[in-house]
Amino acid sequence: MSKTPLLPWSDVLNLTRPFDRPFGSGAKAELCMEPSCEKMWSSDALYFLMVRHGAGYLYKYQNGSSLPIVGREDRSIASFSLHGTSLVITSSSCDSFEELILIEDQVERRISGWNDHYYQTYSWAKTEKRYFRSSTDDVDLEGWLTYPLSYQSKERYPLVHFIHGGPHAAWGPAFSFMAQLFAAKGYFVLLTNPRGSTSYGQSFSSVIDGDWGNLDMRDILSGLDDAEQTDSVDPQNCYLYGWSYGGYLACWIATQSKRYRAICSGAPVVDMCSDYGTADITLANEWEYGASPWSNAKHLNRHSSLHYAHLVETPLLMLHGESDLRCPIMQTELFYSALKRLEKTVVMIRYKDESHIFKKPQNLVDRYDRILAWFDYYIAKGVTVD
């Protein structure tokens, strides 16, 4: 039997390498349709999606070169379909739901109308893109700041800072239900892409591998510094929320900083050693964390918030699904137990039959309600931060 591969590597052509960006959409709306297509051949051309600076673009490869043909920085394309000269994309922006857009002769026309009632009935908070630099080494960074729906220039408002999961993911100009929800409740909402995020190149994304909680935390706090330059942001009322890797970083920041008045962490990892072999991505985590428990437990402990639990001063709400295989619930149990033993302010909520990504509508609503209630409580309490 011949061992010659049907397609030898010498025949493989990497079409996306020149862009140093990940292939695929990746920048979808929080409420979205399932992506139907991220690549397709049409005649002698290959069409594919790629994300840059958080926004999904449609590219075309033909005659030895690839170029973006549809896309802009204020919206994100999640999928597409091409038939002859007619192109349909699904896209959203910070202030519009995901919609179907027909493009013919370079003219765009929205062909879906299922959200028209909401556009006509409700107002949407405005969002601006922010450009800032890391306070430690001057690296260029980006984020999005959504204004309170009731914004008045002479008033001061609380701010909630969201950390995305991954860590190799990214916020972008896509519709965020949570951002609009908090804005409607009178909050500024800050979404930032720290180092580790995708769509800014491989070195930007991989620099935190084996070094979680260092450059990424500094970038998060630099984003907060930038947002606080907005006169209407109340620096005494800033709050933090993250899920998955965002939950890890939220817990880590709770041990390292007092910048936030209260924090909510969802589905975190707080102890890298015990996470080894209990999560469903063990080998990936070994690479991300930078070691295995037997090769360098000291390194894993040095980057695990559990080992700094005694430093936590910020009130912490912890949320977790009992059936989570990606970040097992024992991680939240460990941190909750440690903080309770240390007589810190901490609350834990368990969600039965929920995995890493919540599916039940009643639990999604409950999660939103609890996060809002947690932050609202500390606003009403009126205690200042050191």
Cβ(59)–Cβ(66) below 8 Å:
yes
Q: Which tens digits make up the pLDDT trace of 205-239? A: 999 999 999 999 999 999 999 999 999 999 999 99
Q: Measuring CA to CA, which residue among 323, 334, 312, 310 is closest to residue 363?
A: 323
Residues of the chain above pLDDT 90, percent: 82
Q: Edge-to-edge strands of the sheet including 76-83?
A: 76-83, 86-93, 96-104, 107-110
30 belongs to a structural domain: yes
Q: Are residues 145 and 243 in the same domain?
A: yes
Q: Are residues 86 and 156 in the same domain?
A: no
Q: Are residues 106 and 170 in the same domain?
A: no
270 belongs to a structural domain: yes
- Name, in order, each residue with C-beta under 8 angstroms of 380's C-beta and a sequence gap of 6 or more: none
Last residue of a domain, one of 113, 137, 161: 113
For residue 361, whether the previous peptide bond is cis, meaning omega lies within 30 degrees of 0, is no
Q: Are residues 154 and 21 in the same domain?
A: no
Residue ranges of E strands in 54-194? 55-62, 65-70, 76-83, 86-93, 96-104, 107-110, 127-133, 140-146, 157-163, 188-193
Q: Are residues 347 and 217 in the same domain?
A: yes
Q: Is the pLDDT of residue 17 over 70?
A: yes
2 belongs to a structural domain: no
Token pair for 187: 């909050």
Q: Are residues 97 and 201 in the same domain?
A: no
Q: Are residues 103 and 233 in the same domain?
A: no
Phi-psi region of 330 (alpha: psi -120 to 50; beta: other; left: phi over 0): alpha
Q: Which tens digits make up the pLDDT trace of 73-124? A: 999 999 999 988 899 999 999 999 999 999 999 899 999 998 999 999 999 9
140 belongs to a structural domain: yes
Q: Please provide the average confidence, as pLDDT, over all residues in the chain.
A: 93
Give the per-residue pLDDT at 4.
67
5 belongs to a structural domain: no
Most distant pair of Cα atoms in the chain: their distance: 78
Q: Which residue has the tokens 């597409």?
A: 80
Domain of 226 in residue numbering reads as 122-381
The helix/strand/coil state of 22 is: coil
Q: Are residues 89 and 172 in the same domain?
A: no
Phi-psi region of 53 (alpha: psi -120 to 50; beta: other; left: phi over 0): left
Q: Is the dihedral of CA 310, 312, 317, 321 positive or negative?
A: negative
Q: Is the pLDDT of residue 49 over 70?
A: yes
Q: Are residues 48 and 160 in the same domain?
A: no
Q: Are residues 78 and 140 in the same domain?
A: no
4 belongs to a structural domain: no
329 belongs to a structural domain: yes
Total domains, the chain: 2
Give the per-residue pLDDT at 41.
87
253 belongs to a structural domain: yes
Give the per-residue pLDDT at 35.
59
Mean pLDDT (whole number) for 32-51 = 82
Q: Kindly report the CATH number assigned to the domain that includes residue 190.
A: 3.40.50.1820
Q: Are residues 44 and 135 in the same domain?
A: no
Q: Are residues 183 and 275 in the same domain?
A: yes
Q: Give 385's pLDDT tier (boundaries 50, 70, 90).
A: very low
Assign 3-state DSSP to the chain and report helix, strand, coil percentages, each to 5: 30, 30, 40
Q: Which helix (H) or strand (E) is 239 found in, with range?
A: strand 233-243
Last residue of a domain, one of 113, 145, 176: 113
Q: Is the pLDDT of residue 386 over 50?
A: no
Q: Which helix (H) or strand (E) is 262 found in, with range?
A: strand 262-266
Cβ(290)–Cβ(276) below 8 Å:
no
Mean pLDDT (whole number) for 171-200 = 96
Q: Record the pTM.
A: 0.94
Last residue of a domain, one of 113, 134, 151: 113
